[in-house]
Each structure stands twice: as C-alpha cells, then as structure tokens.
C-alpha cells in the first residue's frame, strides 16, 4: 500500500461557486470566491471568449457572449458547446489546475514579499513585479515551445494572476466605486490612477464592536486616490504607519492599532474581512481582470502570443495519435501491415469529434531516431509511413526508449502513443525519464511487440528488473504504468492493433474500474453518461480462459465486439449501451485475473494532492511521500451539476484513485483517475522565500532540501533546466540516513542579452536504488532596468496664495462675490504629470514650462469663497502623487492634514502665509 492508511481526504464538490487561496485551506462561507475559483472562472471566460471568435473549421461563428455567458459556465459544458460533441475537457482542466497551483504556491514561496499582495501601498513594486513576471512568461512562449516550457509558463502565469487578483481584495479600488478592472496594471499605456502619498491619512479607526471586532463601513478617507491595506511581512513591510489602512481581520495583528480595523475583501466573513460586504464585487472584478489578462484587446496574452500558443497553453488542441516505429530490417513486413491495418480506420474516423488533432510519426533505428513528422491529414501520415524504409539495426536491441521519449515530447497532452518493435530496448536507462514524461503528459503508451529479441551481447546497462508487479519486459511495464495496452503478437495477429486503436479514438475516455479478480465474476456500475464501454481481462497466470459480459438482468450483452482475443488477454467493446445498473464480466475457469473497464463519458474527476503549508493547505510539489498525511482534493467534471461523491478509494496495487458516487440520473457510478499517484520515500522541498529571479548575465544560487523518509540509502542528485542556465550543483551524491536531509544547491547563470526577459524551469532530482523524487522550480530572468521602479512623487512649490475667505465672507450669497487663489509650480523628474483639483477641477489652469513641457508646469487655482477649500492632486505616469490641501471651512479645523505632515519644499512658503497653521 503506497498511500498512507486512513488517508484523510476532503471532497471538493460542485462547480465554481485576497481571497483565500483555495477551499481546502479552511472553512469559508459557501458563496465565497477563492483564488482558485477566481482563476478558474476567469480562465473559463477567457477561453469561452476565444472560442466564440474562433469556431471550429466549417462551423459558423458564434455571437459574443454565447459561450461566455453560459450558466453555469464549466469546462465540460464549454467543450460540449464548442465541439458540439462529447469531448472531455480533462486536458484543459489540467492546464487550469497548473495555473491554480502556481497561484496558490505564492503563499508558500513568496509570503514574505508584499509586492505579491499589493500590501502596504506598494503599488509601484507590485505593478512592476506583475509586469516583469508577465513579460518573462511571454518571452518564454516565443517560437517553438516544449511541454515543460508550457508547464513553467502556467505556473508563472498563476503567480502573475495572484498579484493581479489581490489588487481587488486588498486595495480601495472597489470602494472607489469602480465597476471595471484597472487596466493600467497590465497595460502601461492606460492611464495610472493617483496613489495616496505617504503623507496622506487614508483610513480612520473603525468602530470597535467588541474586543478586537470592528465595524469598518466608513473607515476609508481616501476615495479618490489608491491606497491599500498594511499587512506586516517582515523586511518588505515592517510597520503600519498611523493614519494608514490595515489589511484587517483576525489574521492581521495590527488591526488593533491605529488606524484600527482594515479594508480587505478576501472573504464575506466579517471576522476575516473588514470590508466583507464588498467581497462579491471584488471577486467579480478579479474574475474580469483575469479574463482580460488573457484576452484583453491589444494588451492581453492572446494578442501577445498568438492563437497557436494560446491553444497549447490551455491544452485546447485535442490529442495526438503517435506512431513510434522501429525501422530496423526485421520490421519491414510489420510496417506494411501496420499501415494497411490502421489507415482505413483512421480514414473512417477523420472528421469525427473523436479523431485526433494530429498524427505524429517517430521512426527509430539504431543509432538514429527521428525525424519527427507531424500532420493533421490521414493521407499524409499514410504516405509518411509508406516512405519508411526498414534498414540497419545489426545487433538486436534498439533505441526504442529514445524513440518513445521523443514521441512523448512531441505529442499533445493525453495522447495515444503506439510503439511497434520486435526488439528489447538498448536505452533502458531512460525508463525513469519516460515515467516522468508519462506523469506530466497523461499520455497512454501502447506497446506492440512482434517478437522480442533481447541483448545478444551483454550490455553495460543491464535491463532493470521490473518493479512491484512482474512484467514480461520493460514495454509491458511502461504500457501498464501509463494505462495503455501491451501485446506480444505474432505477425499474423497484428490486426488486434486495429481494435485497440479504435478504442483509442475516443474524445472522452474514462476508466470505470481497475481491479484484480480472484474467482469468476466481477461487477461494475454502468451509469447513464457512459455511451460505450470496454472490458479487458488478463489472466495473471497466463492460462487460457473464456469470458462473457452480462447486463444487469443477467443476460449476456449482444452489443459486444471483440478487440483483443488471445489465450490470456481478451478485450471486448460494448456499444451502444441501452441499460444502466450493475453489469458484470464472468470468466471461466476461476482464477486470478486483472480486469479493466474503460468507456466513453463526460462524467469524470480530477484530483490534487495537497498538504498544510504556512497557514494554508497548498498543492504539493513533486511526488507525495509514503506515510505522510495529505489532503486529496477531488473535483467532479460533468455536464450536469447534481452528482454526488460517496467514496474515494485508493486502489492500492495500481496507486490509482477511484471515486464512487451517484450520477446526475442517480445511478451508481465509479471512475478511476488514470494519473497514478507515485508515493516515494524521498522528497525534495523548496526552502521558503527563495529568490528565483536573476538579471541577464548574472548568476543565481537556488537551494532545496532533500529529505530521506525511507531507509538509509545512497542518493545521486541531478539538476537541469530548460534554457540551459544551470552551471553547477553540489553535492552530486550523498548517503542519507532515515530522517536525514541535505541541502542541494545549484548555480544558474542567465546567459542572455542584457535587455532580455526569460523564463526557465529547473528540475531537481534525487534518486537511490529504492526511491526517487523531483521538484520543479521556475527561474525568471528580468533585465536590470526593468527592476528599477519610479516611486518618487512629483514635487511642487507654492508661488502665490491669496485667501480672503474668512468669517462671514463664507456666507451665502456674499461668498460668490469674493474669490481666493493660489499659484504653484509642479514638476516630476521622470515623467509627465497630471493635475486634478478636488472636488472640482474647473478652477484649475496650468501652463507648461520649459522644454520638457509636460513634466514641468505652472498652475493657478481660483475659486469663490463659497468653496474655500481644495485638494490638488499632482501625479506622474506611474500614479505617484503629491497633494496640496487647503481647507478654510469654518466647520472644520482648517488645513490640518496639510499643516501636520507636508514635507515638500513648499512647506515653508505655505506656513508663512497660512495664519491657521501651528508651526510647532
């Protein structure tokens, strides 16, 4: 049993119903939006909008909102509406999950960096962080992209979205009455909103309801300038100044110090969020901003990367049908057979929603592998296969795993790979790498052997003993690991491939059961969402047997067709399915068998393994560790929402997860997730708050801890990254006792041009004879100039100030016959300045000065004595602002704010002229 006993699990049911990272992190009011919910909904809307504008070939365009405004909008319903067929969204769901993981992991990796949260009025830093991260993601998506580039781009995009979304929960944007996202965050050419100067009071104390509980309905003083809540994060935000807003809520210890309370809208729970009543609006804006991040016209991700990459990023493209074919001399007859058998079938399916997105051919020989040929046309793949020439390959084993590795790398996620060979693998050492590729791609590897000649000569790399279960050879092990088929056929039986290929041509494959049968009868539930099923039975003793498939009434199904029929392995397909309930497969004689039930359905589930980290429950990185406790989060996918999970089962032998429940039609259903959980006894953990950013030409040191949770072992380590930035790492080996850990440190050098953004993903691995694990970590390259932020507000100097509006001159109607004015000079060292007068700009007029005209102005403000007050806001292109506040109203103590805290060069002038200021 690889999973710990009593695996605690948490069922995360239903549809999408800052913001807290996810629902797994603790109880939340049911209608609340988490980071995960916001990300998912924003992505669904963005992809829906993309699909509306880009209908399938031959289909009419859709009207705006047709998909995006679907209620409820789910991945399954979106795919069904777009493809107008049962097409599983599981590959798209996986992409969304990777983005959400990146988003959630900010809480583990960057919790001490306030720029990931818009805390502490760190607007310039947060916006800079956001844009730099985004630019490095975009730079990684230029040209041809590999699956690991895409994975790293998704993780980093999750981080970018985290910053973006926090803007809406942690600043006063919503309180200012905005009903649209703040476009400037993503689009520098869109206007910046003024930021409250350091000197400005932004919040007053909330009313104390009881000890440590506050009512904060009207605590904001800044409603025309941006401010955010202070949340102490150590060095990047060490204190909350008096007069500034807090983040607030019981997680914020400064909520009891002035300004008491806070402004966060992360939840709708008053104890966690002082502005809880605005949670919904903040979440809606965050969803809209997430959507716009991807498809915003002119600045969104889609416009930056183009349609092809957009589709790849979200795994929208369907699956590949990939042939990895041994082209050595002994295979020449077989290649012809493969061609004639398969092509007619592929032709029959072409144009069907079940057809693959593309066909890929990877020839392998010894020592050559490739070139890879890709096409979406059946005719072309036919001619590629015809053109294969069987040659060479003197000795027996071939470079078959190198071929398979290339096939996995070139195929879309969740692809069907068919490997044909008649020889053992010369490159068996690639086995573990292949397994990691299978894990991350979710592809099935089907292996067909038309013979098996192993090494004639002894090789330096021995064929590794197959683990856990006994397999005939490495091919059977890899096929079984990936959930694919393995068959050792005689040349005359090659037609079996046809049946397996037909099973593979399925746009919504699910697994209903996977079990060992000791005896004669195995029952399985068939729910109304299954449109076809396949029943595979393998004798574990290799003895011959017969089997029948029984409907719930006990009669043998007549809708069966034979797919594989060898003495010890039989597969039948049942289609159509006319009756639901408990079906069975009955075998004779009684014995030990492996049974797998597959099918086609849109009812499926995805899972995520999570663990407590900081104060949350966050996705784990790498593989889980034996004996540790985890939370397994389950998400059901389906067309209708009224499904119910009743049980989560870990299928111990195969390390697969199975869910049992009730379908929308109230039939019992079961589904097995085909992504295996591989629990290991070694883990690699990232050390908290590591710096993963470097500048071009500079180096970066990244350390991880390797923890041995198993028996004493001798471990070897490896580190690599996509872009080849890794220069060295140490140590390379170590003996670790049980419970012992060691720090593994790698050095990266950003060998790129000085003005370049780049993104890479580093993989750290640790391996002993008994265990192995990995950790992936994004590495970001940001040019030094881009790291510089302008946080200096404009400066001003008062030139003239005439204020006669005292006493009865403020009374109506006489006040309108008297006026007051001031003249001032304002400038910014870096950028254009914008001026605004509150409450009314009509009395303000400015004239540019000098050559850098817009950076440098002289202004006059004039008003009558009915309005003896004004606040002039002078802001630069980044929103950095200075204010001049004048207030001579009798009903308020005059000019307090400005007298107490102004510290610019005009203070002396102003004090000299203002009789109400107390210069002490």
Ligand X SMILES: *[C@@H]1O[C@H](CO)[C@@H](O)[C@H](O)[C@H]1NC(C)=O
What is the closest distance, in whole angstroms, from the C-beta atom of residue 779 to ligand X in the complex? 11
846 binds ligand X (CB under 6 A): no
- Residue 224 or 660 having the CB closest to ligand X: 224
Q: Which is nearer to ligand X, 144 or 842 (CB)?
A: 842
Q: Which stretch binds ligand X (CB under 6 A): 55-63, 512-520, 688-696, 871-879?
A: 688-696
Stretch that binds ligand X, among 116-124, 402-410, 595-603, 691-699 (CB under 6 A): 691-699
> Toward ligand X, which CB reaches closer, 369 or 685?
685
Q: Is residue 842 within the footprint of ligand X (CB under 6 A)?
A: yes
- Assess 707 for contact with ligand X (CB under 6 A): yes
Could you tell me which stretch among 372-380, 466-474, 619-627, 700-708 binds ligand X (CB under 6 A)?
A: 700-708
Looking at beta carbons only, is 135 or 876 nearer to ligand X?
135
Shortest Å, Cβ 630 to ligand X: 17
Q: How far apart are CA 307 and CA 312, in angstroms?
A: 9
Give least dist CB 678 to ligand X, A: 21
Residue-wise burial string across 732-752, b where 16 or more C-beta atoms lie within 10 A, e elsewhere: eebebeeeebbebbbebbbeb
Which of 62, 705, 786, 858 is in the footprint of ligand X by CB under 6 A? 705
- How many residues form the binding site for ligand X (CB under 6 A)? 14
Establish if 14 lies at the interface with ligand X (CB under 6 A): no
Among 840, 890, 908, 916, binds ligand X (CB under 6 A): 840
Provide, rounded to whole angstroms, the least separation between the CB of residue 315 and ligand X. 32
Is the Cβ–Cβ distance between 50 and 92 less than 8 Å? no
Per the listing, tokens 């011959």 go with 544
Least Å from the CB of residue 226 to ligand X? 23
Residue with Cβ nearer ligand X (385 or 694): 694
Dist. CA 816–CA 898, nearest whole Å: 25
Tell me the C-alpha distance between 803 and 819, whole Å: 8
Query: Of 551, 500, 553, which is closest to residue 530 (Cα–Cα)?
Result: 551
- Rank residues 714 and 840 by Cβ distance to ligand X and give the closer one: 840
In the block, residue with structure tokens 């990300």: 39
Question: Min. distance of Cβ 816 from ligand X in angstroms?
Answer: 9
Of 211-219, 664-672, 693-701, 887-895, the segment contacting ligand X by CB under 6 A is 693-701
Does 734 interact with ligand X (rule: CB under 6 A)? no
Residue from 574, 700, 744, 805 touching ligand X (CB under 6 A): that is 700
> Could you say whether residue 108 binds ligand X (CB under 6 A)?
no
Q: Kindly state whether residue 693 participates in binding ligand X, applying the rule CB under 6 A.
A: yes
Query: Of 174-182, 490-498, 698-706, 709-717, which segment contacts ligand X by CB under 6 A?
Result: 698-706
Which of 690, 843, 858, 860 lies at the binding interface for ligand X (CB under 6 A)?
843
φ, ψ for residue 405, nearest 5 deg: -60, -45
Nearer to ligand X among residue 662 and residue 837 (C-beta): 837
Residue number, 423 or 707, with CB nearest to ligand X: 707
User: Segment near ligand X (CB under 6 A), from 368-376, 414-422, 695-703, 853-861?
Assistant: 695-703
Q: Does 640 bind ligand X (CB under 6 A)?
A: no
Whichever of 494 and 694 has its CB closer to ligand X, that residue is: 694
Residue 411 CB, shortest distance to ligand X, in Å, is 36
Q: Is 53 in the site for ligand X (CB under 6 A)?
A: no
**What is the Cα gyration radius of the chain?**
33
Task: Specify the stretch interacting with ligand X by CB under 6 A; choose among 580-588, 627-635, 692-700, 798-806.
Answer: 692-700
For ligand X, the closer CB: 561 or 816: 816
Nearest to 717 by CA among 734, 705, 695: 734
Say how far apart CA 238 and CA 231 lie, in whole Å: 9
In the structure encoding, which two tokens stand for residue 3, read together?
């999973």
Q: How far is the C-alpha of 677 from the C-alpha of 651, rounded, in Å?
A: 10
Please report the DSSP string for 251-287 in residue order: T-GGGGSSSPS----S-S-TTT-TTGGGHHHHHHHHH
279-295 vs 147-170: helix crossing angle, rounded to 10:
150
Which string of DSSP letters, residue by residue, matches 18-34?
A: ---S-GGGS---TT---
Residue 330 CB burial class (10 angstroms; 0-12, 13-18, ≥19)? middle
Position 126 contacts ligand X (CB under 6 A): no
Instruction: Give the Cα separation of 41 and 17 in Å (integer).
Output: 9
Select from 378, 447, 685, 782 the one that contacts ligand X (CB under 6 A). Answer: 685
| Least CB distance to ligand X at residue 611 (A) | 13
739 to 778: interface string for ligand X, x by CB under 6 A: --x-------------------------------------
What is the sign, positive or negative, of the torsion defined by CA atoms of 340, 345, 348, 352?
A: negative
Report in angstroms how near the CB of residue 195 gets to ligand X at its nearest: 22
Cα 592-597-598 angle, rounded to 5 deg: 150
CA dihedral for 238, 242, 244, 249, sign (positive or negative): positive
How far is it, in rounded angstroms, from Cα 95 to Cα 583? 34
Residue 353 or 843: the one with the smaller Cβ distance to ligand X is: 843
Closer to ligand X by Cβ: residue 63 or 842: 842
- CB 809 to ligand X: min, Å: 16
Closer CB to ligand X, 171 or 819, in the complex? 819
- How many whole angstroms separate alpha carbon 179 and alpha carbon 289? 11
Opening angle at CA 252, ends 104 and 114, nearest 5: 50
- Shortest Cβ distance from residue 607 to ligand X (Å)? 26
User: Is 698 an interacting residue with respect to ligand X (CB under 6 A)?
Assistant: yes
First to last CA, the chain: 76
Q: Which is nearer to ligand X, 153 or 744 (CB)?
A: 744
8 A C-beta contact, residue 800 and residue 821: yes
Q: CA nearest 422: which of 394, 398, 457?
A: 398
Q: Of 812, 803, 813, nearest to 894 (Cα)?
A: 803
Stretch that binds ligand X, among 200-208, 378-386, 429-437, 835-843 (CB under 6 A): 835-843
Nearer residue to ligand X within complex by CB, 494 or 682:
682
Element spanning 529, H or E: none
636: tokens are 């059901």
> How far is residue 603's CA from residue 212's CA, in Å, rounded to a whole number?
47
Shortest distance in whole angstroms from residue 899 CB to ligand X: 25
CA atoms in the 13 A half-sphere facing the CB of 179: 0
Task: Report in angstroms how near the CB of residue 870 gets to ligand X at its nearest.
Answer: 11
Q: Say whether residue 812 binds ligand X (CB under 6 A).
A: no
In this chain, which of 694, 734, 798, 873 binds ligand X, going by CB under 6 A? Answer: 694
CA distances from 433 to 147, 372, 409, 746, 856 (A): 14, 19, 11, 20, 61
Under the binding rule (CB under 6 A), the answer on residue 137 touching ligand X is no
Asked if 591 is part of the footprint of ligand X (rule: CB under 6 A), the reply reads no
Judged by CB under 6 A, the chain residues 857 through 886 that form the site for ligand X are 863
817 sits near ligand X (criterion: CB under 6 A): no
Whose CA is closest to 451, among 483, 487, 412, 484? 487
Whether 898 and 852 have beta carbons less than 8 Å apart is answered as no
Q: Contact between 703 and ligand X (CB under 6 A)?
A: no
Q: How many CB atoms lie within 10 A of CB 50?
A: 21
Residue 691 sits in the site that holds ligand X (CB under 6 A): yes
Judging by beta carbons within 10 Å of its beta carbon (0-12, 13-18, 19+), is residue 255 exposed, middle or buried?
buried
Nearest alpha-carbon partner for 321 in 360, 367, 378:
360
The reply to whether 673 sits near ligand X by the rule CB under 6 A is no
Task: Point out which residues bind ligand X (CB under 6 A).
Answer: 685, 691, 693-695, 698, 700, 705, 707, 741, 840, 842-843, 863
């Amino acid at each position: 049993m690889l999973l710990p006993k009593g695996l605690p699990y948490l069922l995360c049911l239903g549809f999408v119903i800052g913001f807290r990272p996810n629902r797994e992190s603790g109880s939340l009011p049911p209608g609340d939006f988490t980071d995960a919910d916001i990300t998912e909904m924003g992505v669904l809307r963005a992809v829906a909008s993309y699909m509306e504008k880009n209908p399938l070939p031959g289909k009419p365009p859709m009207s705006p909102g047709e998909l995006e405004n679907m209620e409820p909008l789910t991945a399954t319903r979106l795919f069904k509406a777009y493809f107008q067929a049962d097409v599983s969204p599981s590959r798209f769901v996986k992409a969304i999950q990777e983005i959400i993981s990146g988003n959630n992991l900010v809480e583990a990796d960057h919790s001490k960096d306030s720029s990931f949260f818009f805390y502490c009025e760190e607007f310039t830093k947060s916006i800079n962080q956001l844009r730099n991260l985004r630019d490095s993601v975009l730079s990684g998506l230029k040209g041809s992209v590999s699956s690991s580039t895409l994975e790293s781009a998704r993780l980093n995009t999750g981080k970018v979205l985290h910053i973006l979304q926090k803007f809406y929960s942690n600043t006063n944007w919503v309180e200012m009455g905005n009903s649209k996202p703040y476009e400037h965050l993503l689009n520098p050419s869109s206007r910046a909103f003024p930021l409250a100067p350091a000197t400005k009071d932004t919040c007053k104390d909330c009313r104390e309801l009881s000890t440590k509980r506050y009512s904060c309905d009207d605590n904001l003083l800044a409603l025309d300038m941006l401010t955010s809540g202070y949340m102490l994060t150590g060095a990047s935000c060490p204190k909350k100044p008096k007069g500034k807003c807090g983040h607030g809520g019981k997680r914020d210890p400064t909520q009891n110090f002035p300004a008491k309370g806070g402004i966060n809208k992360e939840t709708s729970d008053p104890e966690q969020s002082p502005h809880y009543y605005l949670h919904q609006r903040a979440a809606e804006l965050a969803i809209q901003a997430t959507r716009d991040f991807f498809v915003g016209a002119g600045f969104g991700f889609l416009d930056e990367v183009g349609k092809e990459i957009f589709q790849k990023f979200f795994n929208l493209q369907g699956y590949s049908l990939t042939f990895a074919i041994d082209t050595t001399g002994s295979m020449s007859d077989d290649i012809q057979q493969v061609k004639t058998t398969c092509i007619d079938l592929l032709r029959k399916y072409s144009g069907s929603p079940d057809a693959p997105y593309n066909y890929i051919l990877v020839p392998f020989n010894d020592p050559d592998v490739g070139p890879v040929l890709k096409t979406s046309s059946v005719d072309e793949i036919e001619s590629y296969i015809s053109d294969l020439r069987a040659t060479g390959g003197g000795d027996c084993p071939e470079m078959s795993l190198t071929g398979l590795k290339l096939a996995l790398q070139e195929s879309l996620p969740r692809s069907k790979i068919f490997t044909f060979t008649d020889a053992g693998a010369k490159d068996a050492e690639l086995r573990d790498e292949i397994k990691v590729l299978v894990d991350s791609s979710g592809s099935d590897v089907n292996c067909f052997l038309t013979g098996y000649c192993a090494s004639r000569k002894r090789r330096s790399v021995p064929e590794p003993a197959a683990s856990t279960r006994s397999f005939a050879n490495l091919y059977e092990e890899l096929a079984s690991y990936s959930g694919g088929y393995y068959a050792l056929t005689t040349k005359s039986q090659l037609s079996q491939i046809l049946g397996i290929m037909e099973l593979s041509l399925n746009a919504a494959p699910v697994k209903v059961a996977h079990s060992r049968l000791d005896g004669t009868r195995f029952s399985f539930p068939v729910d109304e969402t299954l449109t076809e099923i396949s029943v595979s039975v393998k004798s574990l003793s290799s003895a011959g047997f017969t089997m029948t498939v029984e409907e719930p009434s006990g009669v043998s199904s007549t809708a069966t067709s034979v797919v594989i029929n060898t003495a010890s392995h039989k597969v039948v397909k049942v289609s159509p399915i006319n009756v639901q309930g408990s079906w069975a497969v009955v075998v004779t004689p009684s014995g030990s068998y492996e049974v797998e039930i597959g099918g086609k359905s849109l009812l499926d589930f995805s899972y995520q393994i999570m663990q407590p980290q900081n104060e949350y429950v966050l996705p784990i990185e790498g593989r889980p560790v034996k004996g540790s406790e985890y939370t397994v989060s389950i998400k059901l996918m389906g067309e209708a929402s009224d499904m119910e999970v009743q049980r989560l089962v870990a299928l111990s032998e195969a390390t697969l997860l199975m869910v049992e429940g009730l379908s929308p039609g109230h039939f019992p259903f079961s589904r097995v997730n085909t992504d295996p959980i591989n629990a290991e006894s070694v883990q690699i953990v990232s050390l908290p708050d590591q710096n993963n950013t470097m500048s071009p030409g500079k180096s970066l040191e990244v350390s991880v801890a390797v923890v041995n949770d198993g028996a004493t072992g001798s471990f070897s380590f490896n580190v690599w990254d996509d872009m080849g930035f890794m220069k060295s790492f140490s140590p390379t080996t170590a003996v670790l006792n049980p419970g012992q850990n060691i720090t593994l440190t790698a050095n990266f050098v950003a060998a790129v041009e000085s003005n370049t953004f780049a993104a890479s993903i580093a993989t750290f691995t640790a391996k002993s004879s008994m265990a192995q694990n990995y950790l992936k970590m994004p590495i970001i390259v940001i040019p030094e100039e881009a790291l510089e932020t302008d946080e200096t507000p404009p400066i001003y100097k008062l030139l003239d100030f005439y204020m006669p509006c005292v006493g009865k001159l403020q009374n109506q109607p006489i006040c309108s016959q008297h006026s007051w004015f001031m003249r001032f000079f304002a400038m910014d060292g870096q950028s254009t300045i914008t001026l605004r007068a509150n409450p009314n700009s009509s009395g303000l007029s400015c004239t540019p000065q000098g050559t850098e005209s817009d950076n440098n102005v002289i202004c006059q403000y004039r008003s009558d004595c009915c309005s003896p007050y004004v606040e002039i806001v002078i802001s630069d292109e980044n929103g950095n602002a200075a204010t001049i506040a004048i207030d001579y109203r009798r009903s308020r103590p005059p000019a307090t704010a400005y007298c107490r805290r102004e510290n610019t060069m005009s203070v002396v002038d102003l004090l000299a002229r203002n009789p109400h200021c107390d210069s002490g």
